[in-house]
Amino acid sequence: MFLMRLPLVASVLAVSVLLPACSNDGPSSGTIEGVLTMTGGPVDAADSPVAGEVELRSERGVAVTAVADENGRFVTTVPTGRYILTGSSPAFRAPRPCASPNPVTVSEGETTVAEVRCEMR
C-alpha cells in the first residue's frame, strides 16, 4: 500500500516545490492614461488636444514613451512608482517643454489619469 502512494506523494512534493518558482515576483504594474493638450492660446480659447509623444520617467530610472493620437489620448502600462511626464508635439514649438503639472503615482492594478500640457504662454 505504501508503494502505491509513493508516486502520489512525489507528485505533491514536486508541485509544492515548483509552484513558487512559477509565481510572478517581478515588479507590479499599473496603467497611465491621459491627454496631451495645448493650452494658453488666445483669450477664451479652449485647450486643444494634440498628437505627439509623452515620456514617462520614474524616480527609479524607468523611461517609457507613449504615443498620443490625433485626439491627444495616450495610454501605457508601467511598473508601479512615481513618474514625471513630459511631452512633445509637432504642432507645438516653444522654448518650454510640455509637462504634467505634477508627478503621478502608479499603483498596482490601478489606472492613473494624467494631463500633459503644452503651455503657449
For the segment 6-12, the average pLDDT, to the nearest whole number, is 40
- Give the dihedral of Cα atoms 67, 69, 71, 75; nearest 10 deg: -50
What per-residue confidence (pLDDT) applies to 86? 95
- Predicted pLDDT of residue 97: 79
- pLDDT of 40 reads 75
Residue 67 CB: number of other CB atoms within 10 A? 13
pLDDT at 9: 38
pLDDT digits (tens, 9 = 90+) for 51-109: 999 999 999 999 999 999 999 999 999 999 999 999 999 887 766 779 999 999 999 99
Query: What are 89's three cell numbers?
Result: 508635439
R_g of the chain computed on alpha carbons: 23
Give Cα 71 distance to the centre of its chain. 19
In percent, how much of the chain has pLDDT > 70?
70
- Between 34 and 40, whose confidence is greater? 34
First-last CA distance in the chain: 85
Task: Give pTM, 2 decimals.
Answer: 0.72
CA 22 to chain centre: 25
By the 8 A CB rule, do 56 and 116 touch? no
107-115 mean pLDDT: 97
Q: Which domains does the chain have, with CATH numbers?
A: 29-119 (2.60.40.10)
Enter the DSSP assignment of 41: -
